[in-house]
Structure 1
């Protein structure tokens, strides 16, 4: 019984760190994508929600 409780406690402590790590990876990927498009001279069209050429 104690092993189950300790295991759940460890999961509750570790879960936010894993979630933050996954979000950080997604943010880095999105930033790299934005930099790539910006470097090519593309602009973001907020009305269409997509990148536009010059």
Structure 2
């Protein structure tokens, strides 16, 4: 699962790097919003590791 948010031509990616390496996660593209969105990315990735799903997937 990769959460992909497109806002004003900026793409944020949070989740698995690819389907081949499901144990590698990525959180990137936050620009100046890294302090705020990085926290949410950490919550989403920890949910993915623990349970395989996150209630914040569609934010």
TM-score normalized by structure 2? 0.33
Structure showing greater relative contact order (alpha-carbon pairs closer than 8 Å, 6 or more residues apart): 2
Specify the structure having the higher radius of gyration (Cα).
1
Higher strand share: 2
The answer to which structure has the higher helix fraction is 1
| TM-score, structure 1 as length reference | 0.36
